[in-house]
Amino acid sequence: LRLFSGSANLGLSQEVARYLGMDLGPMIRKRFADGELYVQIQESIRGCDVYLIQPTCQPVNDHLMELLIMIDACRRASARQITAVIPYYGYARADRKTAGRESITAKLVANLITQAGASRILAMDLHAAQIQGYFDIPFDHVYGSPVILDYLQSKGLHDIVVVSPDVGGVARARAFAKKLNDAPLAIIDKRRQAHNVAEVLNVIGDVKGKTAILVDDMIDTGGTIAEGARLLREEGASQVYACATHAVFSPPAIERLSSGVFEEVIVTNTIPIPEDNYFPQLVVRSVA
């Protein structure tokens, strides 16, 4: 078994290697003057089971291309099996056509990864679980919720309501609530009454006086979760926690998340968080 890391999240790869009691394999990665990438595996991997760890987080296209080149290099070096470990799957939100003449980019990415030579995929908290079906190779879909739930349980919170920030996330929130002693569930329902009229948010469920735990797969610009929190406070929630596996944190997420509306924002390290993006309410749990 050999483990190699792309450049997207070296910290997580090192933690995984430490956990397994092995070293990351030697690999050269270079960028040419014109921006092209170069990868060379620096030891024989002939006949080996190779694991390549690379979340395709920002800059998504670079990290995806690097993963494809790593897979191709391993295939051409006669690896027996190549598992692409993709803790965060970029383009997962482009999982279907919502208008004519659009790409289903999550499927395109699946084609590219398969075509490059991956024999297996391991991914975490896909935005849409059906993305597994975009691949015709074995796929392990794992969840970040156990490490987040462990942390929440250790806090001994009372009078909890688990909240899905949109209708699409209800199954995820329900599973979360079940693990928190079958806590009640609330859902934020977004409606647009007409074109060019701002969305109206409603809370379905009782949050008054409760500790609300908003659960999402990712926080990108923070708009969804911050709006949800504001509404929950308006509806009388006493405290609001936010939980998400993937800390995408595109601007202005940090401003939104650190505005004081959250007791804590609990995420995992599928995506590295630059030091500058830390704020007092942020809790990062490791998925290694």
Contact residues toward ligand R5P (CB under 6 A) are 93, 127, 165-166, 168-169, 216-225
Q: Is 224 annotated as a binding residue?
A: yes
> Nearest 5°: phi and psi at 17?
-60, -45
- Pick from 233, 198, 192, 217: nearest CA to 271: 217
Given 97, 190, 208, 210, which residue is catalytic?
Answer: 190
Cβ count near 78 (within 10 Å)? 11
Beta strands in the chain (DSSP E): 2-5, 27-31, 37-41, 49-53, 81-86, 120-124, 139-142, 160-164, 185-191, 200-204, 211-219, 239-247, 264-268, 282-285
What is the CB neighbour count within 10 angstroms for residue 254?
A: 19
* Comparison of 51 and 143: residue with beta carbon closer to ligand R5P: 143
* Catalytic-residue membership of 190: yes
Structure letter (DSSP) for residue 128:
S
Flag whether 127 is marked binding: yes
In the sheet where 160-164 sits, what is the strand order?
Answer: 200-204, 185-191, 160-164, 211-219, 239-247, 264-268, 282-285
Give least dist CB 195 to ligand R5P, A: 21
User: Of 221 and 239, which has the nearer Cβ to ligand R5P?
Assistant: 221
CB closer to ligand R5P, 172 vs 285: 172
- Check whether 80 is labelled as a binding-site residue: no
CB of 250 to ligand R5P, least distance (A): 7
Smaller CB separation from ligand R5P, 119 or 164? 164
222 is in an annotated binding site: yes
Q: How far is the CB of 280 from ligand R5P (least distance, A)?
A: 20
From the DSSP assignment, how many helices (H) and strands (E) are in the chain? 7, 14
DSSP bridge pairs for 51: 3, 83
The answer to whether the annotation marks 56 as part of a ligand binding site is no
User: What distance, in Å, lies between the first and last C-alpha atoms of the chain?
Assistant: 17
- C-beta of 50 vs 188, nearer to ligand R5P: 188
CB of 253 to ligand R5P, least distance (A): 6
Q: 63: annotated binding-site residue?
A: no
CA distance 215 to 243: 5
Beta carbon of residue 131, minimum distance to ligand R5P (angstroms, whole number)? 13
Residue position matching structure tokens 């462990």: 150
**Binding site members for D-ribose 5-phosphate:** 192, 216, 220-224
**Binding site members:** 34-36, 127, 166, 192, 216, 220-224
**Binding site members for ATP:** 34-36
Indicate which residues carry an active-site annotation: 190
**Binding site members for Mg(2+):** 127, 166
